[in-house]
Each structure stands twice: as C-alpha cells, then as structure tokens.
Structure 1
Amino acid sequence: MKIELKLNNDSIIAVNELLSYIYDMERSNDKKVNVYRSIGYDLADKFDSKAKQLVKKATLFDSKKKHKITLKYHEAWALEIILRELFTYTDNHYVRLRVNLVIDDLNQKLA
C-alpha cells in the first residue's frame, strides 16, 4: 500500500530541515526507537535528495507547484511519528507551520 503526498517546495524543504535532526539523536537500546531511526534515515535521504533537486532547479514560477512524493505505508506512518517527535527541535515558526500541514495531511491519509 502506497501513500502519495503532494507537497510544495517550502513543505519539502521544511520536512528535510526537520529530518536532518534525526542524525543527532542519541543511540538507544530500545527496539522501537531503533526502528524509527532506521526508517527515519531512509526518509531523511529521500527528502534530502528531493530538496537538493528542487534547490538546483528552483525558479520563481515553481514556488506554488506541487511535487508528488510516494511513500510506503510504514514510511508514511513513521514519518508522522518522527515529525511529531522532532517538531520541538526548531524555533522557526514558518517551518513549524509547514511541517504541521504535512503532519495533518499524513494523518488524514493514514486514517
């Protein structure tokens, strides 16, 4: 089962910024945390490559364009949990707003 997200440039870059904090998390012996971290690394790589691609070819006319990102169900489920956990790592209110919109979208599609 796959989940499709349609996100604009700002949302992809905001999620990428927040997912970069997953590399700073402390090591744990808890299996649940290790599963989140494992899936989180894959998601961070996916969003990082997409964000770099968008930055390279960004133009003024592309700012409102939606980009499709397809995630497997378990990736979408983990992304929602990881974004909720990492939400407090940023003080930027715009990033929080964009990430909150992605969390809401994920929550609706996973229900």
Structure 2
Amino acid sequence: MKVELKITADQVLYLQKKLQEVAVIHPREFVRLSHSKKIENSLLLDCFDKISSKADSISRKPTIFDHKKKYSISFKYHEAAILGTLCCSLKQLEPKDHHNYSLANSLFLLIDKKTQ
C-alpha cells in the first residue's frame, strides 16, 4: 500500500536534516543496535533517500513563490509508519515555542491521518 504525502519545502528540508543524523551511522554503531533498532534505521535510510532526492530537486529551483507550494512524496506504508514514529519522537524533543516543533507536529499529524 502506498501513502502519498503532500508536504511543504520547509517540511522536506526539516526531514532531510533530521534523517541525515540517522543516515550517518557508523557500521560499528549499527552492529551494536538491537534488532528492532536495526530495522528502524534501515527503513529510515530508505525514507532519507526519497526525501533527500526531493530536497535536492527543490533546492535546484528555488523561488519565493514556492514557499507555500506542496510537494508530493510517495512512501510505502511501513516507511510512512516509521516516519510518523520519528516525527512523534522529534515533536517531544523540540521546544514547544520553536518553528521546528510546529514542523514536526504538522508532519506527525499528516502521517498519522494518512496511516489510519
């Protein structure tokens, strides 16, 4: 099952930044992770590939008129579900009055609505 997300450029760039932290895991650290964390990490790496390719295409053609434009990214159901879990945990880590909190919260709500 496919899950189609329509998100803004800010949300794409926010996810790229947060997923990049997951993507640069060293093989020695990966071996030490539990089985479920290894699965989660490998799923997030697939999401990172999709999001970073979308972010690269957005950054190649920036205009001031694209600020509110929504970009469509298609995920498999399990990728969207793990991305929703990540956004939920990011929401708890961000300060409540910060712009990043609103990005994480809006992404979580969108993904949660699409995966129900």
Within the alignment, does 1:40 sit opposite 2:33 as a pair? Answer: no
Query: Offset of 1:24 from its aligned partner?
Result: 5.0
The one-letter amino acid of 1:15's match is L
Q: 1:106 aligns with which of 106, 111, 115?
A: 111
TM-score (structure 2 length as normaliser): 0.83
The count of residues paired between Structure 1 and Structure 2 equals 110
For the 8 Å contact 1:36–1:82, the answer to whether it is kept is no
Structure 1: any 5+ residue segments left out of the alignment?
none
For the 8 Å contact 1:19–1:86, the answer to whether it is kept is no
Q: Which segments of structure 1 move beyond 4 Å, counting only runs of 4 or more? A: none
Within the alignment, does 1:83 sit opposite 2:87 as a pair? Answer: yes
Aligned equivalent of 1:56? 60
Distance change >3 Å, CA 86–CA 66, structure 1 → 2: same
Distance 1:32 1:83 in 2: 18
SS at match of 1:61: helix
Distance change >3 Å, CA 44–CA 61, structure 1 → 2: same
SS at match of 2:62: coil
* CA distances 1:25-77 after superposition (whole Å, capped 9, x unpaired): 54334111000000111111111111111011010111111111111101101
Distance 1:53 1:6 in 2: 15
TM-score (structure 1 length as normaliser): 0.87
User: RMSD of aligned C-alpha atoms?
Assistant: 2.0
Task: Please say which structure displays the higher CA radius of gyration.
Answer: 2
Distance 2:56 2:79 in 1: 20
For the 8 Å contact 2:23–2:48, the answer to whether it is kept is no
Structure 2: any 5+ residue segments left out of the alignment?
none
Answer 1 or 2: higher relative contact order, Cα 8 Å, separation at least 6: 1
